[in-house]
Amino acid sequence: MSRSSGKIGGVVELRPSLLAADFSRLAEHAKEALDAGAQALHADVMDGRFVPPITYGADVVKAVIEATGAVTDAHLMIVEPEKQLDVFAEAGVRGITVHVEADKHLHRTLSRIRELGLEAGVALNPATPVVPTLRHVIPLLDRVLIMSVNPGWGGQTFIPQAIDKIRRLRRLLDSSWSKASIQVDGGVSAKNAGDLVRAGVTELVAGTAVFKGDVASNVAALRKAVEAALAV
């Protein structure tokens, strides 16, 4: 199957999360999603400190990028993320997202990500407000990631209050003339993808909804939900 090019409807990207893929055939499983029509990959990196689990590091992400050629963003659910920026840049990621809750010097970290020539992103946990958290770093943002589950494990249930939070973020970015992408991660499925897109999401991160079961059918269902939302 040939890979789809471009965003869904020219607006929304589907970015499967490697966290839910079969680690025994990680690159192969990722390729299935890309061949089915996903536009990019999302690497959830956990350190066992900011969140309980440990996942993988820059070497694994680099191997997947080299094997798939996919645009990949790294979501660093780690403490002291500033110490890992250079190694993930060397791994070939297109962007790095750090958690505001884990970074004492967010402005400095975002500036460094941009100095490395990468897209700079901030992630917000479910209990972290959009305002005033982001107001003073908006000019440095290429991406804002709204967590719609508490970070740590895949397969969690979507927190519906995230939709209102996304709407607030959309208004803040628009009023600031920001072109930053809005990404959502956690419990994303074909059932809620339409609501998320209508709220303002431009990047859907889906793990279990892509990799559990038939990947091609799962991606098709997600794409169909997005296209239906965009058609309204």
Cis peptide preceding 132, ω within 30 of 0: yes
Q: What is the DSSP letter of 17?
A: B
CB 93 within 8 A of CB 113: no
Of 22, 59, 185, 195, the active-site residue reads 185
Q: Give catalytic status of residue 73 as yes or no.
A: no
Euclidean distance between CA atoms 232 and 219, whole angstroms? 21
Of 44, 47, 103, 142, the active-site residue reads 44
Euclidean distance between CA atoms 55 and 112, whole angstroms? 24
Angle formed at CA 32 by CA 26 and CA 33, multiple of 5 degrees: 95
CB 107 within 8 A of CB 137: yes
CB 75 within 8 A of CB 64: no
Angle formed at CA 145 by CA 110 and CA 208, multiple of 5 degrees: 135
Structure tokens at 107: 């402005």
- In 3D space, the residue among 45, 39, 173 whose CA is nearest the CA of residue 98 turns out to be 45
- Positive/negative CA dihedral, 138, 56, 69, 211: negative
Q: Give catalytic status of residue 44 as yes or no.
A: yes
Structure tokens at 153: 């494990």
Q: Give the residue numbers annotated as catalytic, written as ranges.
A: 44, 185
